[in-house]
Chain A
Amino acid sequence: MSNLESPPGQRQSYAREILGEGLFSKLESSKVLVVGAGGIGCELLKNLVLTGFGYIEIIDLDTIDLSNLNRQFLFQKQHIKKSKALVAKETASNFNPSVKILAHHDNVKDPKFGVGFFQKFDLVMNALDNLDARRWVNRMCVASNVPLVESGTTGFLGQVQPIIKGLTQCYDCTPKPVPKTYPVCTIRSTPSTPIHCIVWAKTWLFNQLFGEDDENEEQELDKAVADGEDAAEIDNLRKEARQMRDLRTSLISWSNEEELRSSAEKVFRKVYKQDIERLLSMDEMWKHRPVKPVPLDYDNIVAPPNPSEADGQAASVGPGAEEAEKGEVGATQGSSSGLKDQRSLSLKENVELFIQSTVALAKRASASPTEPLSFDKDDEDALDFVAASSNLRSKVYSIEEKTRFQVKEMAGNIIPAIATTNAIIAGMLVIQSLQVLKGAWQEARYVNLSRGTNRLLTSLKCEPPSRDCPVCQETYVPVRLNVAKVTLAQVIETLKKPRANKGGEEDGSGGEGGLGMDPELEVSTYEASRLLSDPDFDDNLEKSLSQIGIVNGKVLSVVDEDGGKANVNLLIEEDDAMGEGQVGLPEAGRLPDLLDKAPKVEERKEEDEDDGFVVEEVDKKNLPLPPSATRGKRKRVGEEKGVEVELEGKKRELENGHEQADEEPDQPSSKKLKGDENVESRQDQDVIVLD
Chain B
Amino acid sequence: MTDTPNSVASSSRPSAHSQRYDRQLRLWASSGQASLEKSNILIIGANSLSSQIIKNLVLPGVGSFTILDDANVDPADMGVNFFLQPGQSQGRSAAQEMASLLSQLNENVEHNFKIESPQALLASKPGYFRSFSLVISVNQPPEFDLALSDLLWSIEPPRPQVPLLKIRSSGMVAEMTIDIKELGIVETHPDSIIDLRLTNPFPELVAFAESFNLATTDSLTHSHIPFVVILLKKLEEWKAKNGGSPPSTKSREEFVTLINSSRQPGNLDEENFDEAIAALGKHVWRPLSSDHVGAGGVPSEIRELFKDARCEVLSSHSTNFWLMVRALRDFVDNSPTKSLPLTGSLPDMKSLSATYVGLQNVYRNKATEDLETFTRILGQVCVNAGVRGGSGAIDEDEIQAFVKHAGYLKLIRGRSERERRERPRTDAVTMAFLDPVNPCTFQHHIAFRASDLFYLKHARYPGSSRTFSRNLRNQDLDAQGRSRGSKPDHGADGGGGEGEGEGDPRKAKRSKSNESDEMVANGEAAGVGAGSDVEMAVETCVNHEGHGEEEEEEEEEEKEEEEPCFEEDVRLLAKEAESVIKSLGISTDGEEMEKIHDSLKEMVRSGHCSLPPTTALMGGVVAQEAIKILTRQYVPADDLVIYDGIQQALGVFKL
- A residues with CB within 8 A of B: 1-6, 9-23, 25-26, 43, 46-47, 49-51, 66-67, 69-71, 73, 76-77, 95-96, 155-156, 193, 288, 290-291, 317-323, 325-331, 333-343, 345, 349, 352-353, 356-357, 359-360, 363, 380-381, 384, 387, 398, 404-405, 408-409, 414-428, 430-432, 434, 438-440, 443, 445, 447, 451, 453-459, 611, 613, 663-664, 675-681
Provide the bound-state CA to CA distance between A335 and B531, in Å: 54
Q: Is residue B28 contacting chain A, with contact meaning CB distance below 8 A? A: yes
Decide if A13 touches B397 in the complex (CB within 8 Å): no
Q: Is residue B22 contacting chain A, with contact meaning CB distance below 8 A? A: yes
Given contacts A20-B525, A66-B16, A349-B12, contact A51 B530 (CB under 8 A): no
Decide if A19 touches B353 in the complex (CB within 8 Å): no
- B residues with CB within 8 A of A: 1-2, 7-9, 11-16, 18-32, 48, 52, 55-56, 59-61, 75-76, 78-80, 82, 85-88, 90, 104-107, 171-172, 187-194, 220, 224, 275, 282, 343-349, 351-354, 356-357, 360, 395-397, 400, 404-405, 437-439, 495-497, 511-513, 515-517, 519-520, 525-532, 536-537, 540, 605-607, 609-621, 623-624, 627, 634-638, 641, 645, 647-652
Question: Which of these, B2, B23, B495, contacts A70 with CB under 8 Å?
Answer: B23
Decide if A339 touches B18 in the complex (CB within 8 Å): yes
Decide if A14 touches B191 in the complex (CB within 8 Å): no
* Interchain nearest-CB distance for A332 vs B (Å): 8
* Interchain nearest-CB distance for B305 vs A (Å): 19
Provide the bound-state CA to CA distance between A73 and B101, in Å: 12
Q: Which residues of A contact B26 (CB under 8 A)?
A: 155, 329-331, 409, 414, 416
Q: Which residues of A contact B19 (CB under 8 A)?
A: 66-67
Question: Which of these, B85, B349, B636, B652, contacts A319 with CB under 8 Å?
Answer: B349
Return the chain A residue nearest B651 by Cβ: A455
Given contacts A357-B9, A453-B636, contact A14 B611 (CB under 8 A): yes
Q: Which residues of B contact A415 (CB under 8 A)?
A: 23
Question: Which of these, A46, A326, A417, contacts B616 with CB under 8 Å?
Answer: A46
Provide the bound-state CA to CA distance between A30 and B28, in Å: 41
Decide if B513 touches A10 in the complex (CB within 8 Å): yes
Q: Which residues of A contact B405 (CB under 8 A)?
A: 327
Return the chain B residue nearest A95 by Cβ: B82
Provide the bound-state CA to CA distance between A449 and B19, in Å: 27
* Interchain nearest-CB distance for A334 vs B (Å): 6
Return the chain A residue nearest B21 by Cβ: A70
Decide if B520 touches A431 in the complex (CB within 8 Å): no
Q: Which residues of B contact A359 (CB under 8 A)?
A: 2
* Interchain nearest-CB distance for B208 vs A (Å): 15
Q: Which residues of B contact A317 (CB under 8 A)?
A: 356-357, 360
* Interchain nearest-CB distance for B298 vs A (Å): 20
Decide if A419 touches B623 in the complex (CB within 8 Å): yes
CB pairs A–B below 8 angstroms (29 shown): A2-B86, A13-B516, A13-B517, A21-B530, A50-B82, A67-B19, A69-B106, A70-B23, A71-B59, A73-B105, A95-B85, A95-B86, A288-B220, A291-B354, A317-B357, A330-B32, A343-B12, A360-B9, A414-B23, A419-B59, A419-B623, A422-B620, A430-B612, A431-B617, A453-B636, A457-B648, A457-B649, A613-B191, A676-B192
Q: Which residues of A contact B638 (CB under 8 A)?
A: 453
Decide if A51 touches B613 in the complex (CB within 8 Å): yes
Q: Which residues of B contact A16 (CB under 8 A)?
A: 516, 519-520
Q: Which residues of A contact B347 (CB under 8 A)?
A: 322, 677-679
Return the chain A residue nearest B355 by Cβ: A290
Given contacts A13-B516, A677-B192, contact A456 B641 (CB under 8 A): yes
Given contacts A340-B11, A420-B627, A443-B532, contact A1 B348 (CB under 8 A): no
15 additional A-B residue pairs with CB within 8 Å, beyond A70-B59, A340-B12? A4-B495, A5-B86, A22-B525, A26-B528, A69-B20, A335-B396, A336-B397, A337-B29, A353-B12, A360-B1, A414-B23, A419-B59, A424-B621, A455-B438, A459-B438
Q: Which residues of B contact A409 (CB under 8 A)?
A: 26
Decide if A47 touches B220 in the complex (CB within 8 Å): no
Decide if B616 touches A419 in the complex (CB within 8 Å): no
Decide if A43 touches B616 in the complex (CB within 8 Å): yes
Q: Which residues of A contact B90 (CB under 8 A)?
A: 4
Decide if B617 touches A70 in the complex (CB within 8 Å): no
Question: Which of these, A10, A291, A421, A427, contacts B352 with CB under 8 Å?
Answer: A291
Given contacts A334-B400, A420-B623, contact A345 B516 (CB under 8 A): no
Question: Which of these, B526, B609, B617, contacts A423 with CB under 8 Å?
Answer: B617
Return the chain B residue nearest A17 by Cβ: B516
Provide the bound-state CA to CA distance between A414 and B12, in Å: 19
Q: Which residues of A contact B516 (CB under 8 A)?
A: 9, 13, 16-17, 21
Decide if A321 touches B23 in the complex (CB within 8 Å): no
Provide the bound-state CA to CA distance between A422 and B530, in Å: 26
Decide if A6 touches B78 in the complex (CB within 8 Å): yes
Q: Which residues of A contact B32 (CB under 8 A)?
A: 330
* Interchain nearest-CB distance for A264 vs B (Å): 10
Interface centre among B7, B353, B437, B495 (most CB of A within 10 A): B353
Q: Which residues of A contact B194 (CB under 8 A)?
A: 322, 677
Decide if A676 touches B191 in the complex (CB within 8 Å): yes
Provide the bound-state CA to CA distance between A89 and B537, in Å: 34
Interface centre among A156, A326, A424, A430 (most CB of B within 10 A): A424
Q: Which residues of B contact A291 (CB under 8 A)?
A: 352-354
Decide if A4 touches B87 in the complex (CB within 8 Å): yes
* Interchain nearest-CB distance for A150 vs B (Å): 15
Question: Which of these, A18, A343, A352, A675, contacts B609 with CB under 8 Å?
Answer: A18
Return the chain A residue nearest B523 by Cβ: A21
Provide the bound-state CA to CA distance between A211 and B407, in Å: 48
Decide if B59 touches A427 in the complex (CB within 8 Å): no
Provide the bound-state CA to CA distance between A155 and B633, in Å: 14
Return the chain B residue nearest A26 by Cβ: B528
Q: Which residues of A contact B86 (CB under 8 A)?
A: 1-2, 4-6, 11, 95-96
Question: Which of these, B80, B189, B220, B611, contacts A328 with CB under 8 Å?
Answer: B189
Q: Which residues of B contact A424 (CB under 8 A)?
A: 617, 620-621, 624
Decide if B80 touches A352 in the complex (CB within 8 Å): no
Decide if B620 touches A427 in the complex (CB within 8 Å): yes
Provide the bound-state CA to CA distance between A22 and B519, in Å: 11
Decide if B30 touches A427 in the complex (CB within 8 Å): no
Given contacts A15-B611, A339-B18, A451-B634, contact A678 B348 (CB under 8 A): yes
Provide the bound-state CA to CA distance between A67 and B349, in Å: 35
Q: Which residues of A contact B193 (CB under 8 A)?
A: 325-327
Given contacts A10-B513, A405-B14, contact A290 B439 (CB under 8 A): no
Return the chain A residue nearest B188 by Cβ: A327
Decide if A333 touches B31 in the complex (CB within 8 Å): yes
Given contacts A10-B75, A349-B8, A438-B528, contact A76 B105 (CB under 8 A): yes
Decide if A47 touches B612 in the complex (CB within 8 Å): yes
* Interchain nearest-CB distance for A287 vs B (Å): 9
Given contacts A322-B347, A345-B12, contact A418 B27 (CB under 8 A): yes
Question: Which of these, B14, B648, B652, contacts A453 with CB under 8 Å?
Answer: B652
Q: Which residues of A contact B511 (CB under 8 A)?
A: 13
Decide if B531 touches A18 in the complex (CB within 8 Å): yes
Return the chain A residue nearest B623 by Cβ: A420
Decide if B616 touches A47 in the complex (CB within 8 Å): yes
Decide if B282 touches A340 in the complex (CB within 8 Å): no
Q: Which residues of B contact A428 (CB under 8 A)?
A: 613, 617, 648
Q: Which residues of A contact B526 (CB under 8 A)?
A: 20-23
Provide the bound-state CA to CA distance between A11 and B2, in Å: 54
Provide the bound-state CA to CA distance between A66 and B106, in Å: 12
Provide the bound-state CA to CA distance between A31 and B18, in Å: 39
Given contacts A155-B27, A156-B27, A459-B439, contact A12 B528 (CB under 8 A): no
Given contacts A10-B75, A20-B537, contact A678 B275 (CB under 8 A): yes
Q: Which residues of B contact A677 (CB under 8 A)?
A: 192, 194, 282, 347-348
Given contacts A70-B61, A333-B397, contact A1 B519 (CB under 8 A): no
Q: Which residues of B contact A3 (CB under 8 A)?
A: 87
Interface centre among B90, B194, B623 (most CB of A within 10 A): B194
Q: Which residues of A contact B356 (CB under 8 A)?
A: 317-319
